[in-house]
Amino acid sequence: MAANFKLKIMLYSTTATTFLFIFTSLIPSFQAHEVEGMFVFGSSLVDNGNNNYLRNSSARADYSPYGIDFPLGPSGRFSNGRNPIDVLGELLRLPSFIPPFSDPSTVGQRILHGVNYASGGSGILDHTGSITGKVTSMNQQIRNFEKVTLAEMQSHVDFKRKCDHLSKYLFIVGTGGNDYLLNYFTSNNRRTNILNFTHKLIATLSRQIRRLYDLGARKFVLFSIQAMGCIPAVRANLHVSNGSCVEAMNEAALLFNNRLKALVTKSPNSPMPHASMIYINSYKIIRDIIKDPISNGFKETSKACCDLPSNGILCRKGGKACKDRNSHVFFDGLHPTDAVNERIAHIAYASNLKSEAYPTNVKNLVQMYN
């Protein structure tokens, strides 16, 4: 859609001459509230503090050194700073960070620009992540949106006045990695063919996305799972010390990602005819950094920035963090640093490469009519 133009004419008079200055300012259309907010579903890569409120959950990041570079300190984000959702919100010029669903104050006006339901350790399947204690599964996240948030929004005067449907909101989905890391590769599921397991994941996720569509969602952003074989926890657990990745696990990620990407291609008989979906290849974004760190502005690609317990994934409570955090790809044994999250979000927002954002980017998605 064409951008809106504002013409500002300013007259300045002097004793000799009147100068006419015509300033044309190009204002991107999304500033005119073409996107009201985001609803976020997924795992720790996009969780912004929901697990803080779960009893008996070991998948928490509400302690130092997490949040060392975040303005609110340790908030439950699994990073030294922002996650990709925070950066996307900035790029979309949303007025504040998206609040976590589990925070008791996430009510009233706070929900009008979106809510984050993501839960660290969770997955597509209900039982994924149980080894970490209490998590909120993808199905439960969707029920939280339907039964609580949506019900409240539909009765809110400001929501009715601004937009009578959800097409002005982005629905962000970032899940699937834990179904391999905390399920398939750590249980008897390995007796199941990985092709069949992946098919089960995609079929289940398809139904979950369809449920969101039936509830009114129209614009979806699907994030790929990352290069699991390159994360520090996997490398350490399998004693990979030469800087290489565990390609068997990366192949599983690619298998899932290829099937996930196929979901965004709309067929003539699609059960979601009014949906617009894009796929963000965060796997490629991170892998490109790992393959050529120096030219991408990074140095350390295989080690965590923070102190980890033996064979650990999360930072040691009260432990130290490296000084040059912007040069690290990973902050802990699994999660990227603020610098990487910023890269992912900027590429998701504006990249014109279909290998990174398919079939288009977030900036174009928010300008589409449904």
- Token pair of 319 as six digits: 């432990």
Would you give the DSSP letter of residue 336? Answer: B
What ranges make up the beta strands (E) of 1-125?
Answer: 4-13, 18-27, 37-42, 114-116
In angstroms, the CA 264 to CA 35 distance is: 20
Phi-psi region of 368 (alpha: psi -120 to 50; beta: other; left: phi over 0): beta
- As to burial, measured by CB atoms within 10 angstroms (0-12 exposed, 13-18 middle, 19+ buried), residue 75 is buried
User: For 122-149, b where at least 16 C-beta lie within 10 A, e where not — what string?
Assistant: bbbbeebbbebebbbbbbebbebbeebb
Helices in the chain by DSSP H: which ranges?
84-91, 138-144, 151-154, 157-162, 177-181, 194-214, 232-237, 247-262, 282-291, 338-350, 362-365
Rounded CA Rg of the chain? 22
Place of tokens 């902050």: 331
Q: Annotated catalytic sites, by residue?
A: 44, 332, 335
**Could you tell me the two tokens for 311?**
């064979």
